[in-house]
C-alpha cells in the first residue's frame, strides 16, 4: 500500500498538505522477528505499514500477551510515548518481513503546528486509534472468547492465515487448547 493511500485512510488532505507530510516520511524494511518498539523506552518514531504484519504485546508472568495486530495501512505508534513523552509499555515486533514508512514524532508535531489540515488529519488518526482501543476493551469485557474469535474471522480473516495461532490465542485471552476447541466447534 502506497503512503498516499495510507494517509487518505485516516482523513483526506489537500495536495500541498499531503506533499508536506510525505516529504517527512522515509521507507524502511525489517525482517520477520524484528522489534520495532521496545517497552520501557520513549519511542520517537511512528510507522505506517506498507506491507506485512506486526503485533503489539506486553510481558506477563505467564508469557507475553498480544493485544494488537497491525497490517497494511495501519499506523504503529507507542501512544504513551507520543502523547506524554513517557516510556511505552508495549513491544511491537514484525510477524512477517515488513516494508514500512517511518516518521519522526517531532516532525509530525512540527507539521501539526504549521498546517491546520495536517493537524486535523492527526486528530482523526488519533481518534480512530482511540476507537480501536475502546472496541478492544469492550470486546474483552463483554464478549465470550468465541464471539471475539468470530469477530476476528469476520473483521480481519487474513490474520488467521498470517499470524501464528499462539498469538491469536493470546490476543483472544485464551489458551491454544481453548482456541482449538472454538475452531472445532465453528467448523
Mean pLDDT score of the chain: 95
CATH classification at residue 133? 2.60.120.10
Q: Is residue 127 scored above 90 in pLDDT?
A: yes
pTM of the model: 0.94
pLDDT of 21-40, one tens digit each? 999 999 999 999 999 999 99
In a domain, 51, yes or no: yes
153 is a domain residue: no
CA distances from residue 153 to 138, 148, 169 in whole angstroms, order as listed: 18, 9, 13
In a domain, 117, yes or no: yes
Number of domains, the chain: 1
Amino acid at each position: 500500500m502506497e503512503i498516499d493511500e495510507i494517509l487518505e485512510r485516516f482523513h483526506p488532505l489537500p495536495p500541498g498538505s499531503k506533499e508536506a507530510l510525505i516529504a517527512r516520511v522515509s521507507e524502511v524494511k525489517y525482517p520477520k522477528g524484528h522489534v520495532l518498539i521496545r517497552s520501557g523506552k520513549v519511542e520517537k518514531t511512528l510507522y505506517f505499514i506498507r506491507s506485512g504484519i506486526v503485533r503489539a504485546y506486553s510481558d506477563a508472568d505467564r508469557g507475553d500477551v498480544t493485544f494488537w495486530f497491525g497490517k497494511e495501512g495501519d499506523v504503529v505508534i507507542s501512544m504513551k510515548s507520543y502523547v506524554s513523552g513517557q516510556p511505552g509499555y508495549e513491544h511491537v515486533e514484525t510477524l512477517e518481513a515488513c516494508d514500512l514508512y517511518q516518521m519522526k514524532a517531532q516532525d509530525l508535531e512540527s507539521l501539526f503546528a504549521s498546517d491546520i489540515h495536517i493537524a486535523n488529519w492527526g486528530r482523526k488518526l488519533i481518534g480512530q486509534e482511540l476507537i480501536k482501543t475502546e472496541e478492544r476493551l469492550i470486546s474483552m469485557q463483554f464478549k465470550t472468547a468465541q464471539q471475539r474469535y468470530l469477530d476476528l474471522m469476520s473483521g480481519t480473516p487474513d490474520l488467521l492465515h498470517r499470524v501464528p495461532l499462539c498469538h491469536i490465542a493470546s490476543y483472544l485471552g485464551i489458551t491454544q487448547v481453548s482456541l482449538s476447541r472454538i475452531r472445532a466447534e465453528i467448523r
